[in-house]
Structure 1
Amino acid sequence: MSGPGREPRRPARWWRRLSLRTRLTVIAATAIAVSVFLAFQVASELMDRELRDTAENELRADSRVLAAAAERAGPARVELAPYPGAGRLSRVILADGSTRTPAGQPALPPVSEHALRVARGESADLMESEDTDDDGYHVYTLRAGDGAVQVARATDDSPLNQFGFGMLLIGLLCVAGGALVGRTVARTGLAPIDRLTAAAVRVAYTRDIDADIPDEGGGEIRRLIQSINDMLAALRDSRRAQRLLAEDAAHELKTPLTSLRLNVELLIRLDRRGTLDTALSARSRTRLLDDLGAQVAELSTLVAELTDLARGDVNDESTEALDLADVVVAAATRARSRVPDIEIALDVTPVWVSGRPAALQRAVLNLIDNAGKWSPADRPVQVRLRAEGASAVLEVDDAGPGIDAADVPRVFDRFYRADSARALPGSGLGLSIVQRVVDAHGGRVAVARSARGGALLRVSLPAAT
């Protein structure tokens, strides 16, 4: 059962199901049909008015000739020529209301009260339109002597009918021509879109996004093609980034997985032989188990960072106004719990920003973890937060050896690790995640040398108003 509000939508749904080419054809044909109809109405009205004015002028001229004769001889004695069988009709109206008509003339409509008043001299001349069952007449009454004369012509609609028939034929031809022209224009105008559609279908079918769609046309079509090419370029970049991420992840996972597999296979082999207790001393077993635990932890960290990095900017966490000082303190607390030996010196002031709390805390935690790897045990990692103008500035300062100038351009690349850092734990993803989070918040991150000789990582984020 259809609701009351669904019925008006059916024409709209029918219209939307039509192709764009058919819509343009219908619109063109409809526009021409409406134009022809309006032109016919205007032309018919002008032609009818012109014919009526011409007929009335002829009646006035004929009545003046007959009135002059009636005034000379008198209405009762004026000679009326026999009716020739066609043309105008005439009669004389006497003061008593009686009439005289030419011999053989068809009967005219009865004399109207207004015409009798003209015959009695009570009114001026009169133009009337009389309609009978068979014909209609234009009748002009003019005072003549002590009576009046009337001249009439039968209304002739044949010129208008012929004109209307001609306009109908012209209108049909124009509508058909307009539909043909609209179809041709639509086909020509939509040809670039057809080629664009074919190219898009080809890309969807072959999954080949390396070839751009040829740029053709102008205006909206060119902008559409450029937008699709930009989309294809973005897809290519995304596919390239995914492929690079997969290759780098496979490379980084290979080493810890190989080491973990070898250690586990060694334990399994010794256990099957029953020589686990005799082949490995308690100290060796403890060291092997610690090594396994470290490798599992490294794999867990790497997988977590890969997952976070692969998600990109897709995040369900909502943006909110927050105090960045709270985020920094929470990140420092997590860093101390993960690495109890790390010493962190905080110097933070409240600065409000608009951002995602968990993402920002992850970025700060990565900065502190990176600094903690390099800073000596007796030299704390210094974390400073302050407001500078319209920005919140976070600085993480370590007292390590610093970053070589050759490594600075690549320090935020995925999986990049300097030669001096390859022996240290880590995946090479921490600073890459930092840059992604900072970029997503409209900020900047930079590397410099600190006053203590180590690395200084400086993050600037827009402060909230």
Structure 2
Amino acid sequence: MSRAAGREPRRLTRWWRRRSLRTRLTVIAATAIAVSVFVAFQVAIELLDRELQDTAQNQLRADSRVLAANAERAGLAQVQLPPYPGSGGLVRVILPDGSTRTPAGQPALPPVSEHAGRVAQGASADLMESNDSDGDGYLIIYTLRAGDGAVQAARVTDGSTNNRFGWGMLLIGLLCVAGGALVGRTVARAGLAPIDRLSAAAVRVAHTRDLDAAIPDEGGGEIRRLIQSINDMLAALRDSRQAQRLLAEDAAHELKTPLTSLRLNVELLIRLDRRGTLDSALPAESRTRLLNDLGAQVAELSTLAAELTDLARGDVSDESTEVLDLADVVVAAATRARSRVPDIEVALDVTSVWVSGRPAGLQRAVLNLIDNAGKWSPGDQPIQVRLRAEGASAVLEVDDAGPGIDAADVPRVFDRFYRADSARALPGSGLGLSIVQRVVDAHGGRVTVARSARGGALLRVDLPAAAPLAPIAWLTAGEDTAVH
């Protein structure tokens, strides 16, 4: 039983949630008016009933005083009682011995009550009583002390007046509820018109895929803020789609050259192998050089595919953010750079600086900076990597002794697939520094490029520092450590 009772509110809730906002506003308006009319009806009925009672009681008091004055002059036994008019007020005289006198033809009144008898005996001056009558109303009897007895005036009050008033109020209430529902529907339609237009515009954008169709700004307050938020979302989607299109176009352009070269070399090997002239057409030295080129091209394609995947993911990452020592990340990146390029030499000058970030993403950014510096730095000159705390920031600097970056290339050095003229003969995809900037931006930092004191490029990364989990001093400032 309790389970069934518990399901009913849930069904009602589900039903209510399925209704449109316009229907909800209409129901709320009609309900509010219905409750208001019901409360007003109850208050009016109560006030009317009290007013009718007060009027009847005042009339009974007035009739009793007139009859009492006549009885004191003529005596209770001889006083002339007014003839019964056929309806309306009733009168009765209570004699000292407890007997009563009533006008001829008047309907009988209930027996004298014990309290009325006490009034006749002088216990009190007057008494107002009410008794249920045979009809829908009730009988009011007023007893007033007069001479050695008392006089009574009575009146039957029926509910006809209240009933007529009640039916009138009910009719007015129904009209008010119907009018309230109509007004609520009209107000809801007018108030939700901007929402309807907004929904139609959103559906149009979803069907046409036209993100350039901005929704007209109309209305005010919450409606305007909602429209502005949706327009901002459309603008973000436009930028995202444009970036996606540019990435696809640039990726296709960058993949075209290595794939073409790889396909031509493979086709050459296949053709010579089919003819059985592979050994005669390609001496061992040339064949070795061709296979090395194929391996380099495959490695370049693998690196490009990995960088494209990393760049296309944007800020989406399954890696959680944690408070970490950036010095550990820098050392790990330097170690990986050494394992990838054995001839590279990295001189570390790092101190323990704590940041909040994703370890793998930060390590990839540092590794890309070291790889970029390794392409330019001479073999006898190490790449200098410095890490220090500077105010509320962690500052990482990667310094090489290469030719540096031309001033014309500085504004575009972090663009996707951008490669300076002097770098086109070197391996790489032009995505490394772009990935660095994306990782640094995702961590709330900033990356800049300048010329180092050794004449090469100096790339600087500023990241917000975080409170350390424990005071750890990994390497002291100014201490140079070379990774060979």
Q: Please give the residue correspondences for 1:99-118 in structure 2 after superposition, counting only pairs within 5 Å.
A: 99-118=100-119
Deviations 1:285-319 (A, max 9, x none): 11111111111111110000000000111100011
1:442 alignment partner, one of 441, 444, 463:
444
What count of residue pairs does the alignment treat as equivalent?
465
Q: What residue in structure 2 maps to residue 191 of structure 1? A: 193
Contact 1:28 1:179 in 2 (8 A): yes
Q: What residue in structure 2 maps to residue 335 of structure 1? A: 337
**Superposition deviation, residue 218 in structure 1:** 1.2
What percent identity do the matched residue pairs reach? 87
**Superposition deviation, residue 156 in structure 1:** 2.8
Contact 2:133 2:156 in 1 (8 A): no
Q: What residue in structure 1 maps to residue 397 of structure 2? A: 395
1:152 alignment partner, one of 118, 139, 154:
154
**Superposition deviation, residue 110 in structure 1:** 1.3
Q: What residue in structure 2 maps to residue 275 of structure 1? A: 277
Rate the CA distance shift 1:2–1:13 in 2: closer, same or farther, 3 A: farther
Q: What residue in structure 2 maps to residue 73 of structure 1? A: 74
Contact 1:215 1:225 in 2 (8 A): yes
Deviations 1:335-374 (A, max 9, x none): 0111111111011111111111110000000000000001
Contact 1:320 1:355 in 2 (8 A): yes
Deviations 1:387-413 (A, max 9, x none): 112111110000011111111111111
Q: What residue in structure 2 maps to residue 38 of structure 1? A: 39
Q: What residue in structure 1 maps to residue 57 of structure 2? A: 56
CA distance, structure 1, for counterparts of residue 127 and residue 291 of structure 2 = 127
Q: What residue in structure 2 maps to residue 128 of structure 1? A: 129
Q: What residue in structure 2 maps to residue 203 of structure 1? A: 205
**Superposition deviation, residue 153 in structure 1:** 1.0
CA distance, structure 2, for counterparts of residue 130 and residue 95 of structure 1 = 24
**Superposition deviation, residue 87 in structure 1:** 2.4
CA distance, structure 2, for counterparts of residue 308 and residue 89 of structure 1 = 103
Deviations 1:317-340 (A, max 9, x none): 011111111110110011011111
Deviations 1:18-59 (A, max 9, x none): 111111111000000000001111111111111111111111
Deviations 1:190-214 (A, max 9, x none): 1111111111111112222221111
Contact 1:81 1:103 in 2 (8 A): no
Contact 2:67 2:151 in 1 (8 A): yes
Q: SS state of the match for residue 78, structure 2?
A: coil
CA distance, structure 2, for counterparts of residue 81 and residue 27 of structure 1 = 59
CA distance, structure 2, for counterparts of residue 172 and residue 303 of structure 1 = 73
Unaligned runs of 5+ in 2: 468-484
Instruction: In structure 2, give the amino acid aligned to 1:86.
Output: S
Q: Please give the residue correspondences for 1:234-273 in structure 2 after superposition, counting only pairs within 5 Å.
A: 234-273=236-275
Q: SS state of the match for residue 232, structure 1?
A: helix
Q: SS state of the match for residue 316, structure 1?
A: coil
Contact 2:119 2:125 in 1 (8 A): yes
Q: SS state of the match for residue 192, structure 2?
A: helix
Contact 1:341 1:377 in 2 (8 A): yes
Q: Please give the residue correspondences for 1:214-363 in structure 2 after superposition, counting only pairs within 5 Å.
A: 214-363=216-365
Contact 1:109 1:132 in 2 (8 A): no
Q: What residue in structure 1 maps to residue 475 of structure 2? A: none
CA distance, structure 2, for counterparts of residue 7 and residue 337 of structure 1 = 69
**Superposition deviation, residue 7 in structure 1:** 4.0
CA distance, structure 1, for counterparts of residue 391 and residue 331 of structure 2 = 22
Q: SS state of the match for residue 387, structure 1?
A: strand
**TM-score, length-scaled by structure 1:** 0.98
CA distance, structure 1, for counterparts of residue 164 and residue 7 of structure 2 = 46
Unaligned runs of 5+ in 1: none
**Superposition deviation, residue 3 in structure 1:** 5.8
Instruction: In structure 2, give the amino acid aligned to 1:138.
Output: I
Q: What residue in structure 2 maps to residue 452 of structure 1? A: 454
Q: What residue in structure 2 maps to residue 27 of structure 1? A: 28
Instruction: In structure 1, give the amino acid aligned to 2:92.
Output: R
Contact 1:391 1:461 in 2 (8 A): yes
**Superposition deviation, residue 242 in structure 1:** 0.6
Of 360-369 and 16-25, the range deviating more from structure 2: 16-25
CA distance, structure 2, for counterparts of residue 326 and residue 238 of structure 1 = 34
Of 124-133 and 374-383, the range deviating more from structure 2: 124-133
Q: What residue in structure 2 maps to residue 431 of structure 1? A: 433
**TM-score, length-scaled by structure 2:** 0.94
Within the alignment, does 1:94 sit opposite 2:86 as a pair? no
**Superposition deviation, residue 124 in structure 1:** 2.2
Q: SS state of the match for residue 396, structure 1?
A: strand
Within the alignment, does 1:13 sit opposite 2:14 as a pair? yes
CA distance, structure 2, for counterparts of residue 345 and residue 293 of structure 1 = 30
CA distance, structure 2, for counterparts of residue 2 and residue 375 of structure 1 = 80
CA distance, structure 1, for counterparts of residue 87 and residue 275 of structure 2 = 137
CA distance, structure 2, for counterparts of residue 210 and residue 116 of structure 1 = 96
CA distance, structure 2, for counterparts of residue 187 and residue 360 of structure 1 = 54
Contact 1:402 1:455 in 2 (8 A): yes
CA distance, structure 2, for counterparts of residue 440 and residue 78 of structure 1 = 109
Contact 2:387 2:397 in 1 (8 A): yes
